[in-house]
Amino acid sequence: MDEEDLSVTNAMGRVYSSASHAFEVQARDIDDDEDDEDEVDYKEDGDAIDRGLFSKKFRNDHLKKILLRFLIVSLILACVCISVCSIYWGATYKTSKFYHKINIVAVIEDDNITMSQNDIHSYTSLNANLPGIIENSAKGTWHMYNTSQFMQRYNLTSTQEISPRLLKLIYDEDYWFALHAKPNVTERIIASLSSSNSSLQFQSQKFYDIIYESARDGSSLKSQMLIVMTDLFTTFQTFYTDQYLPSLIQNLTINGDGRLQVHSSMNWATVGNFAANYIDYRPFYDRNLLAPLQVGLIFSLILTVFQLSLFGALHAEIARYLGLKHTILYRLVMSWTTYLFLSLYFCTISAIFQIDFTLAFGKAGFIVYWMTMWLVMTAVGGANENVLNILVAGYPEFLSLWLMSWIILNISPSFYPMVLTSNFYRYGYMMPLYNAVALFKVIFLDVSKRNMGRNYGVLIAWIVLNSVLLPITIKLGEYFRKKRA
């Protein structure tokens, strides 16, 4: 067959062993017949030639070359560290300055107060103070509604629909957090202070809900993002304890003597205990999930490179008998079939460690996971194969740089919430591993399925692009192989 039709895999097996070949060349330069400590050769006339590390000949012939190469390599390493590695560091840098990108919905229901006609005091609603506290001290971007505004905005017919709708807004990922301040808070506080009836005890957790889903980001939501809500409620709690409650007690009159009678110490104790009810609608329930959702994906990417090295010699042998078109077809079929079985073996690890696949898709969960992992490996593996077609033939010394860069570019926007990073990391929407993480969260944690179409579409787009580029990279690899020959 014409040599132009040969695949770059013809040279792949040789270059994968280039490191060991370099050491063999180095070893051939050493005279095995000489004693290890003998660093002196002799000319034909018997004069000694000093071949030591500190000899004049070594300094004149090699020292300058060594120093120059050391400087060049140091410069390359410095550029790689600063330009490539810093992408990963940047994903966790000063996340607090991006809190304004966190969207939060708050429904502060009307807090009506009904008092007897004999009560001449006016009482300020506790909920009426909450919007001002949010505006003055809260982080994040807040979308605040009262009862009627929220019902009109989402076409609700009853106040009983507010809580379920907030849960749906969080599940649909329209907001990261929701705050629901329920009605009649102040009235219940007054009733608790004024009555010995235990059924009227004020329990703040029944009036204030904070809703979120830790499954959206198991490693960062509770540690880095939930603080936005806890800080707000701590501020609200301080206002309630230090200002609102003392003022309310002072204004309450019982028996007409200006003093509030203690009917029930238990009721008074519950009034002083002010906290919110935190609802984790989709909890990140098992830290074992961090393996397939984070570091495990790095392993899957590396495995696609490993299988290429194992098949390198065979691909080179087969390419000698096939034309270009059939070589491409052979490579695609072999790669896709290999990834099918490799993804099965990889998914089996999660099954061995008893990860639950049934939350979102029932008994079919493992099949969905397997097919998704197959697409992921085909997407990242195809990109690896195309790049290696060129690097193996032309620049084998940069293989490690590519692999490290490909990993960093994929994981930096995938392992941390994009809302806490700069807009630079939005490139992650088109990266295979970002979309893989999003799909696996659906499978393992039953989060919203609304973006699954886009996630699968991106993976398929990578597979199509890699397939289209394969003939081009094979030709380029052949060109570089001939150039280096």
User: What is the residue-wise DSSP string for 253-279?
Assistant: -BTTTTB---S-HHHHHHHH----EEE
pLDDT: which is higher, 25 or 412: 412
* pLDDT of 3 above 90: no
Query: pLDDT tens digits for 207-236?
Result: 999 999 999 998 899 999 999 999 999 999
User: Could you give the angle at which helices 296-319 and 9-16 cross, rounded to 10 degrees?
Assistant: 120
Query: Which whole number is the average pLDDT over 21-49?
Result: 46
| Residue type for position 370 | W
In the prediction, which pLDDT does 44 show? 53
Q: Which of 90, 78, 16 is nearest to 408 (CA)?
A: 90
Q: Residue 71: pLDDT band by 50, 70, 90 thresholds? A: very high
Q: Which of 203, 186, 208, 206 is nearest to 267 (CA)?
A: 203
User: Could you give the angle at which helices 227-239 and 130-137 cross, rounded to 10 degrees?
Assistant: 130
Q: Which of 344, 333, 281, 285 is nearest to 311 (CA)?
A: 333
In the prediction, which pLDDT does 261 show? 56
Question: What is the percentage of the chain residues whose pLDDT exceeds 90?
Answer: 62
Which residues are CB-neighbours of 311 under 8 A, at least 6 positions away? 334, 338
Q: Residue 323: pLDDT band by 50, 70, 90 thresholds? A: confident
Helix (H) / strand (E) element for 209: namely strand 208-212
Pull the structure tokens for residue 138.
């809260």
Residue 21 sits at φ, ψ, to 5 deg, of -65, -40
In the prediction, which pLDDT does 62 show? 76
- With beta carbons less than 8 A apart as the criterion, state whether 220 and 294 touch: no
In the prediction, which pLDDT does 1 show? 44
In the prediction, which pLDDT does 313 show? 83
Residue 53 sits at φ, ψ, to 5 deg, of -65, -25
In a 3-state reduction of DSSP, which class is residue 179? Answer: strand
Q: Residue 57: pLDDT band by 50, 70, 90 thresholds? A: confident
Average of per-residue pLDDT values in the chain: 85
Q: Residue 320: pLDDT band by 50, 70, 90 thresholds? A: confident
Lowest mean pLDDT, pick from 21-35, 164-178, 294-308, 387-401 = 21-35
CA 191 distance to own-chain centroid: 48
Lowest mean pLDDT, pick from 20-24, 187-191, 359-363 = 20-24
Query: Which whole number is the average pLDDT over 94-116?
Result: 85
In the prediction, which pLDDT does 18 show? 42
In the prediction, which pLDDT does 90 show? 92
Buried b (16+ CB within 10 A) or exposed e, 267-281: bbebbeebebebbbb
Q: Residue 17: pLDDT band by 50, 70, 90 thresholds? A: very low
Q: Residue 11: pLDDT band by 50, 70, 90 thresholds? A: very low
In the prediction, which pLDDT does 115 show? 56
In the prediction, which pLDDT does 367 show? 97
Pull the structure tokens for residue 220.
């960062």
Which residues are CB-neighbours of 321 under 8 A, at least 6 positions away? 1
Q: Residue 263: pLDDT band by 50, 70, 90 thresholds? A: low
In the prediction, which pLDDT does 41 show? 52
